[in-house]
Amino acid sequence: MRLMSIASGSSGNCIYAGNDNTHILIDTGISKKRVEEGMKRLDLSPSDLNGIFITHEHSDHISGLGVISRKYKIPIYGTKETIEAIKSYGSVGRIEDELFVEIEPDMYIKLNTLSIKPFSISHDAANPVAYRIEDEKSRIAVATDMGTYNDYIINNLEGLNGIVLESNHDIRMLQTGSYPYYLKQRILGNKGHLCNEMAGRLLDIILNKDMKKVFLGHLSKENNYEELAFESVRMEINLSDSQYKADDFDISVAKRDAPSVVAEI
Ligand SMILES: [Zn+2]
Ligand SMILES: [Zn+2]
């Protein structure tokens, strides 16, 4: 499979995953133009997409969905609650009912040679999910917008070859920063976002010898920066009791405003 972040961060998220004959996006929280430019790097166009999988209805995950789906008529997969929330969310405009496909956490969606499994995450949205994507050769996941993790999440992230994992904020930057109190509490809460340290600890648990690529993603613009997320996550791995060292793995930060490298997994 190939895995690429077209954009990742609190201001817009769009991840490509696919193999030779099946192509999907996880979320479309950026403009149609940026999706087109990102896919061009893969020698693809949005018309090649077999589906768009939505994690949840927050605008940084769906803001481009209306424009893209109206132009390219791509099926949109999401939980019933996510779809209802998108429909009631005025700013994406009208999307044809026929394009929506309802899914449920823990089901397997077969799309040509890809098998896609949504699994529940803890976030302040309507029945949000992350996705595990497999084909006969490899297994990847896109897991962001998680206030916390548990054994269920860990199980769904086991045995991966590639991942986009949230490393949202530095707790100290958030606590001393300019966000209003309620927003700080929201981000720090169980239904908020993973801080750098928690991302590092979770990554350490799910690392395995076949993990080829780790993208740290969904960084906060105000409360994090690339080097800090990168070093904090690496430190958690290096300080843990596990057999792994951060240097053994290809870890990089997915950028907010530019596509990542294309990881061949
Ligand atoms: Zn969110
Ligand atoms: Zn988000």
Domain assignment present for residue 165? The answer is: yes
**Ligand 2 centroid – CA 8 distance (Å):** 9
Domain assignment present for residue 96? The answer is: yes
Domain assignment present for residue 152? The answer is: yes
Domain assignment present for residue 132? The answer is: yes
Domain assignment present for residue 89? The answer is: yes
Phi, psi of 183, rounded to the nearest 5 degrees = -70, -40
Would the pTM count as exceeding 0.85? yes
What is the structure's pLDDT at 91? Answer: 81
**Ligand 2 centroid – CA 160 distance (Å):** 22
pLDDT at 182 over 90: yes
pLDDT digits over 33-84, tens only? 999 999 999 999 999 999 999 999 999 999 999 999 999 999 999 999 999 9
pLDDT at 151 over 90: yes
**Ligand 2 centroid – CA 58 distance (Å):** 6
Q: What integer is the mean pLDDT of 130-156?
A: 98
| % residues pLDDT > 70 (the chain) | 100
Starting from the edge strand earliest in sequence, which strands make up the sheet with 14-18, in order?
100-103, 76-79, 51-53, 23-26, 14-18, 2-7, 263-264
pLDDT band of 100, cuts 50, 70, 90:
very high
> Range of 178's domain?
2-258
Domain assignment present for residue 127? The answer is: yes
Domain assignment present for residue 265? The answer is: no
Among all bound ligands, the one having the nearest atom to the CA of 217 is: 2
Protein residues near ligand 2, an ion, with CB under 5 A: 60, 145
**Total of domains in the chain:** 1
Domain assignment present for residue 26? The answer is: yes
**Ligand 2 centroid – CA 40 distance (Å):** 24
Q: Is 191 exposed, middle or buried (0-12, 13-18, 19+ CB in 10 A)?
A: middle
Q: What integer is the mean pLDDT of 123-148?
A: 98
**Ligand 1 centroid – CA 186 distance (Å):** 11
CATH, residue 90: 3.60.15.10
Q: What integer is the mean pLDDT of 196-221?
A: 98
pLDDT at 220 over 90: yes
Q: Is 146 exposed, middle or buried (0-12, 13-18, 19+ CB in 10 A)?
A: buried
Residue with tokens 């699994």: 119
